[in-house]
Amino acid sequence: MAIAIMTSGGDCAGMNPAIKQFVDYCFSKDIKPYLIYDGLEGLIDGDIKLATYEDVAGIMHEGGTKIRSSRSKRFFEYKFREQAFNYLQQYNIDKIIILGGDGSFRALNQFHKDFGVNFVGIPATIDNDIFGTDYCLGVDTALNVIRQATDAVRDTSASFKRACVIETMGRDCGYLALVSAITCGAEICIIPELDYNLDAIGKRLKKELAEGRKYIVCIVAEGCSSDKCTSTNELVSWLEHDIGIETRATILGHVQRGGNPTVFDRLMASEFVTYAIERLMDNKNEDGGSVIIYKKSEFEFVSIDYVNSQKYEIRKDLLELAKRIVN
């Protein structure tokens, strides 16, 4: 039996631990483990290699993905999917594990419909915005990167009696900003999912400053830099002119994608991959493709249609925790 693994879309910490576990576990089960480099683009171009222990030695602690990633417009065209399938046939590969988001899963689902290649998708995105799962690989590391940066920025803000506006990633989902605001003790949290009242926030902050507050931490989601809500630059201007406190902005950007994977992300990567391999070995993918999710502290497999059936929503109890800092 031969199984290949690939990473697609945005990278995240935890992908390398998943790749290492994939190779090690496959060898323990007498399965030939193949690595597909450069995501869907590499699949099209046949950048496929039979893995060795040397390929994955010492990568457990590394962020990103050793086999690299990509986004591919070519994969939308049948002729390029056919080209990819022909390369897989050369290695007798008919099973793939893909780490990525729902777009990557849809691409592999179409690939299965075209050519019957069986696959399991592992949710891997720091935005944590895939419907059906409570957790996506890489989220814990990203949150810890944000926590470390926020704690450091707070130190200098307190030293100068400043406000700081920290922008996290989250183009369409405010999960990172929300959890970071709660766990870092922010005074303001601005995300698309929560209604907020700047007038009420302003009154609260002015009262707190008058009573001795020395600094303000505001965490805002990247997705707010649109017509949805107040952007990072607008918040800086509001804090300086309406609240009357010197303010600096910190846009964390892609630093959130990298970093040394946390213990939790390493453990989850190993579990995700192990269950995915076992499912492919047992030929339990009745429809040819499924996604492994983590729900209520348990792993289960769901269909691609289920993952795509609804838009992800942040848990209501988490939103409730942040309501005191949006008014």
Active-site positions read 127
What is residue 137's DSSP assignment?
B
Q: At residue 237, what is the residue type?
A: S
Please tell me the number of Cα atoms within 13 Å of 129 on its side-chain side. 17
Structure tokens at 301: 């497999």
How many CB atoms sit inside 10 A of residue 82's CB? Answer: 13
Q: At residue 195, what is the residue type?
A: D
Structure tokens at 105: 């899963």
Coil, strand or helix at 2: strand
Q: CA dihedral defined by 15, 18, 19, 24, rounded to 10 degrees?
A: 160
CA distance 278 to 281: 5
How many CB atoms sit inside 10 A of residue 223's CB? Answer: 22
Residue 3 contacts residue 95 (beta carbons within 8 Å): yes
How many CB atoms sit inside 10 A of residue 253's CB? Answer: 11
Residue 199 contacts residue 145 (beta carbons within 8 Å): no
Please tell me the number of Cα atoms within 13 Å of 223 on its side-chain side. 18
DSSP letter string, 257-319: T-SPPPHHHHHHHHHHHHHHHHHHHTT--TTSEEEEEEETTEEEEE-HHHHTSS-----HHHH
CA distance 80 to 33: 23
